Each structure stands twice: as C-alpha cells, then as structure tokens.
Amino acid sequence: MKKTLQLVLLLLVISLTCQVDKTQAIDLHKASWDEIVQAADGQTVDWYMWGGFPAVNTYVNTYVAARLKEKYNITLRQVPVKDIAEVVSKLVIEKQAGKTSGGNVDLMWINGENFRTCKRHDLLFGPFADKLPNQRFVDWSKPSVYNDFGTPVEGMESPWGSAQMVMIYDTARTPEPPGSMAQLIDWIRQHPGKFAYPAPPDFTGSVFVRHVFYHYSEDVNLWQGEYTQKQFEKAASATYRLLTELKPALWRQGTTYPESPVRMNTLFADGEIDFSFSYHQAEASRNIQDGLFPPTVRSFVFDQGTIANTHFVAIPYNAADTAAAMVTANFLLSAEAQMEKAKPDVWGDFPALDITRLPRQQQQQFIDLPRGPATLSNQELQAHQLPEPPSEILIQLEKGWEQHVLKGR
Amino acid sequence: MNKRSFLLGLSIIAAVLLPFLPLLLWSVSNQWFYPALLPQQFGLRSWQYILSTAGQQITEGLVQSTSLALVTTCCSLTVALPAARALGLYCFPGKKAIGLFLLLPIIVPPLCVSMGYHLWFIRLGLAETFAGVVMAHLTFCLPYTIFVLWGVFTDYDPDFEHQARSLGASPIQVLVNVTLPMILPGICIAALFSFLLSWSQYLSTLIIGGGRLLTLPILLFALMDSGDRPVAAAVSLVFVLPALFALLVNAHFLGRQGMTGVR
C-alpha cells in the first residue's frame, strides 16, 4: 500500500514538473508579419483535424509539413480526430477550467456549426485572418466566404478550401441520370429501394434535406436576407411531407438510413443503391483512382444548382504556438499550396483563392490542372452554385426532420 | 481419440483466426466490388499508406499504446493485489458495498467519467500528461483486475504461508516461493484483462490525452470513418496483432502452468 502511495506521488510530481509554461513574448495582435514569422521559428503546430480522408492526411503530413519545416522551421504535428466537435467540447471544458494559455490545440479545421459554437463561447484567437499576407488573393465579398453558414466570419478563421455538393451515379447502371431535384424525386418513386441518404444530423444527409428544402422554396436567395417564420414553415413542412411520403420508396423502405456518407458510398459501390452524393466535387474521381468505385462512375449537378460552402482553419484562444499557427494558415493560402491541393491525384479540393487575383502564369496553371474522369469542370460547377442557408435554418431542418420524418409525428 | 482432439484444436484455431481472413484480404485489395467473392485486383496501396505516409504516426501510436498499456497494467496489479487479498480472505462489514462501489466505473458511462476527470485534471495539471491518461485508464481497468484476483483469493489458503513461515522462510521467500506461484495464473489473467482494456481505450485517451498522446485506437477510429476499407483493414490488423500476441503468449504460459497451483 505504501508502495502504491509512493508511486502515485511520484507520478504526480513528474506530471507537475512536466508542465512548461509558454508565454507569448510578443503581442500578436500588434506585431508586424515579419515579427510573427520570427516568433514562429522553431515552434510546433498541433493541427487537429478530421482524419478520415487518407488523401488529406497524406497532403498535410508530407507536402505541407515538409514545406513548413524548410521555409519557416515550423514542425507540423497532425492530430487526426473522428469529429472536430470533440475538440470543440475539449476547448469548452478548458475554458471552464480557466486554462488560458499553453493549450495543446494550435490550429483546427472547422466550419459551420462548430465555428458558430466556438464563436459563441469565445473560444477563438483573433481576428487574425486580415493579418495574413496571402489574404489578398481571397475574394472576401463572396457570401460563402464572409459568412460561414450564416455566421459572419469577421477574421476569426481563415479560408482553406471550398466544396460543392455533387450527385454521383454509375453510367453502367443509370445511363441517363435525373437532371433536377423534381426529376430525381420522380426517379426515386419509379425505382423503389434504390435510393438512400444518410440520416441528418450527418453533414451530407443534412445537405440533401436542404436541397429538398430549396426545391420547395420559391427563391433560394430569400433565406440569405430577411425572411418570415411563416415562409420558412411553408417550405419546411412541404419538405417533411415529401420525405415522409418517399420513405417506402427508399432503401430498406426507409426503416433505416445509412449512418454516414461513407456507408452510402459503400452501398453504392456494392450496387445496393444507384446514387451517392458527396460534399466534395472530386470524391468520385478519387474513389475511382483508389479502386473504391468502378471506372464507369460519373458525377452531375442539378440544373438549379447545388449547395457550395467554404471550409476554414481557426486558432483556439489558448493555443501555445499561435504565431506558428498563423504562419501555417498563411502558407495554406499560398498559390503554391492551393495548387498542390487542387491536383486530383493529391486531393482535388477547390481553391479558397479567387484565381483571377493571381499572376497570369499561376492562373493558367490552375486552369490547366488535370481533372479526374468523374469530376465536372470548374465552369460547370461554378455556374451551378447555391449558397448555404444560415445555421438556424439548418438546425431547424435537422430537428424537424427527426421529429416529422424519422419519428413520423 | 488423439485425432479427435487434434480436429477440435484445429476447429478452435480456425474459429478464432477465420474472422481475420476478410481483414487480410481487404488490406491487400485494390478493387473489390460486389458480387465478386475475392478481390478483383490485389495491391499494396493500403500498406504503402500505413508504412510510408502514416508510418511515423503508426509507430508513435504503437509505442504510445504499448507503454500506456504496460504501465497501466503494472499500476493496476499493484493496487489490486492487496485489495483483492483483503476482499478474498477477510470478512468485514461493508464488504458487499465495496464490491458494488468498485463496479461503479463500469456502470457509469465512460464519457461522463472522462469529462468529469478532464475538468479536475486540468486544474491538477494532469490533463494531457502520460500520468493523467494512466490514471484514467486505471479507472476502467481496476474493477476487472480486482474482481479477477478477488476470485483467486477466495479459493486461496493462507495456511500455506504460515506453514512456510514456521519452517523458517523469510517474508520475501514466502512471497516469491509460495504466494506468487500459487496465484500466478490469476495474475496472468488479470494482467491480460488490464492490458487489453487499456489497449482499446479510445474516449478517455482522447479526452484526457487531448491529442498529445496519439494511441493506435485514436488513429484507427479517425481512419475508420474514411470508408477506405483497405486502409481501415490494414490499420485494424496493426492494431489487433500486438493484442493477439499478448493473448497467445499468455495462453501458452497458462497452458504450461495449468491451474494446478490455485487449490
């Protein structure tokens, strides 16, 4: 027993002495960019991000890590997590416990709901985005950039890339896919059991419900400005009514839903359902390349357009290596890093930059990028983009879906 | 008779190892679509990913997981042995209450336990430290260790120790030559439980370790979400193999030792 006590005490002492207090030597809000780069020299950035995409993991751990080391002597340590919301709740608890410095999270890959939670609980460092030199290539007048799901960004996060929802189908099975939401609804009715969507609040399932909601909205742009609760109720109840009515025509008669987009992709690859969809315009090509989808798979967007949004990186209020996190965020926005990220065999993510602001030669490089066999052209995609509705609408739709469609009340 | 026991042994081994066959096939497949029984195309893409790109993380995870599990096992045995001896050999009021109390960490959802710990550990400076994570793991391992050893000590006869003492053995000699050999099979099982439980902890490691300690389950869970079955299968194999190794070594050891010493 005495031995145990000694051991516990020893462990306590060791852990207490291990705590190193790192204080910021300079005030980063006032420092010049050169001073920030200097402060970042030798720091380690712990970047917490969703780790479920091997292509992104590879890009971050090889290309980005190597360049940061070589250019700024910054060590990048990726921390893959299952859901960034876990990290947000970690920060909420750290805030409660009064931990104001020396936090382990230096950078987070974030958007939408999680950003809103962070902003509401004051969990972020900033505003810092306007301090980054590469910010000049970003078009901040775009609604999907200055508003993150209806929450004003206000420099509290820095854009990293953007994504657009695309429908995925197999030309071998469905030679002529439905071109609009109305046609898709007809198709589902005519082919019972061959369509499924992940149950909200899954991110991808939720965006499908929003597309149905847009289908019943007279004007999609109405939700970006002032709208009345009555207008919302009208479109929302039509959405729930349709989805309830479609249930018997869904996969397994709608008694169950795929739990994630990944599960939907495997159902699609296994031939159980005939469509998949993704919040990532190059995913189909990527999956063909990795042998997860047959080579006959293609993607399409609805005539009325599909929802597009931006994903960001943010720095927590108590980050230990804030300067290095800022330098990293800036590097991620550089034309060079965005170019590498856009290559289909690397990741195939849309640039967060407005490429028309780049020097002509780099513009051409972006235009000349090869696309995967299943990826639509940038013009085609950009001509069919719809904005995200504000978070309040998103949350109400998710709750309403659960109440009316899932539980059938 | 011999042939029959051989067949029995073979079928048991097959039942244990067969579930790993699909994992192995997935990890070396490049293309595998319904309704093919075997992968249409074999390849080493997933192993390449694990050994080169994620190699550093996986190695770090292996080292981290192993050292956490070993330290947790040692600590939990150190605490559990005296406790189990007292519970198994002596009668005292409140014994049942203590038994119930010990089960609490298993009954209360691990998320609540971990979140509660987190707040306190931050204040104590234990969050994001190795020691903190060991303590969190101990919460989940201790009940099992104590209960296994409790059972061992219920059947244990301390008169053997008295006999050795009366024959002139020192307390240390009694411990090494009498007590330990008698309870060794029980210790092995308790240690195995503890090791495997700590090895597979996800939530408590994530919350208390806060990403500073990247164990294999954390890497595995993050990749499970990817739907990239070959990569997930390969990571699963890397995750399972050391645990399987621990199990086999233990089984081998127990098989030789038998349960002869217990009664």
pLDDT tens-digit profile of B58-103?
899 999 999 999 999 999 999 999 999 999 999 999 998 998 888 8
Query: Global pTM?
Result: 0.81
Q: Give the residue carrying structure tokens 């992940």.
A: A198
Say yes or no: A109 and A138 in one domain: yes
CA–CA separation, A94 and B207 (whole Å): 11
Q: Residue A19: its pLDDT value, please? A: 46
Is residue A4, in this structure, part of any structural domain at all?
no
CA–CA separation, A134 and A404 (whole Å): 46
Is residue A224, in this structure, part of any structural domain at all?
yes
A78–B57 C-beta distance less than 8 A: yes
Q: Give the residue carrying structure tokens 């950039």.
A: A145
Q: How far is B260 from chain A (nearest CA, A)?
A: 29
Say yes or no: A318 and A189 in one domain: no
Is residue A5, in this structure, part of any structural domain at all?
no
Interface-testing mutation among A76, A290, A293, with chain B (most B C-beta atoms within 10 A): A290
Expressed in angstroms, the distance from the first to the final Cα of chain B is 29
Chain A interface includes B45 (CB < 8 A): yes
Residue ranges, chain A, pLDDT below 70: 1-25, 409
Is residue A21, in this structure, part of any structural domain at all?
no
Q: Residue A14: its pLDDT value, please? A: 53
Say yes or no: A196 and A254 in one domain: yes
| Residue B262 scores a pLDDT above 50 | no
CA–CA separation, A405 and A202 (whole Å): 15
Say yes or no: A158 and A191 in one domain: no
Query: The domain that contains A244 carries what CATH number?
Result: 3.40.190.10
Q: Residue A32: its pLDDT value, please? A: 93
Chain A interface includes B145 (CB < 8 A): no
Say yes or no: A184 and A316 in one domain: no
CA–CA separation, A74 and A42 (whole Å): 5
A15–B131 C-beta distance less than 8 A: yes
Say yes or no: A291 and A324 in one domain: no
Say yes or no: A271 and A370 in one domain: no
pLDDT tens-digit profile of A191-228?
999 999 999 888 899 999 999 999 999 888 888 878 89
CA–CA separation, B182 and B263 (whole Å): 8
Cβ distance B23 to B237 under 8 Å?
A: yes
- Amino acid at residue number A311: H
B132–A15 C-beta distance less than 8 A: yes
Residues in chain A within 8 Å Cβ distance of B53: 54, 57-58, 61-62
Name the residue range of residue A226's domain.
164-308+385-406
Interface-testing mutation among B123, B129, B229, with chain A (most A C-beta atoms within 10 A): B129
Chain A interface includes B174 (CB < 8 A): no
Q: Residue A11: its pLDDT value, please? A: 54
| Residue B228 scores a pLDDT above 70 | yes
Q: How far is A49 from chain B (nearest CA, A)?
A: 9
CA–CA separation, B181 and B162 (whole Å): 16
Is residue A345, in this structure, part of any structural domain at all?
yes
CA–CA separation, A187 and A178 (whole Å): 7
B30–A291 C-beta distance less than 8 A: yes
| Residue B136 scores a pLDDT above 80 | yes
Residues in chain A within 8 Å Cβ distance of B78: 3-4, 7
Q: Residue A42: its pLDDT value, please? A: 95
Q: Which of residues 200-219 of A touch B (CB under 8 A)?
A: none
Is residue A281, in this structure, part of any structural domain at all?
yes
Q: Residue A25: its pLDDT value, please? A: 56
pLDDT tens-digit profile of B102-128?
888 888 888 888 888 998 999 898 988
Cβ distance A285 to A371 under 8 Å?
A: yes
- Assigned CATH for B56-257: 1.10.3720.10
**Ranges of each domain in chain B:** 56-257
Is residue A26, in this structure, part of any structural domain at all?
no
Q: Residue A378: its pLDDT value, please? A: 80
Is residue A323, in this structure, part of any structural domain at all?
yes
Q: Residue B226: its pLDDT value, please? A: 67
B211–A105 C-beta distance less than 8 A: yes
Say yes or no: A60 and A153 in one domain: yes
Q: Give the residue carrying structure tokens 């991620």.
A: A332
Closest CA to A54 of B234, B209, B32: B234
| Total domain count, chain A | 2
Closest CA to A178 of A191, A161, A162, A163: A191
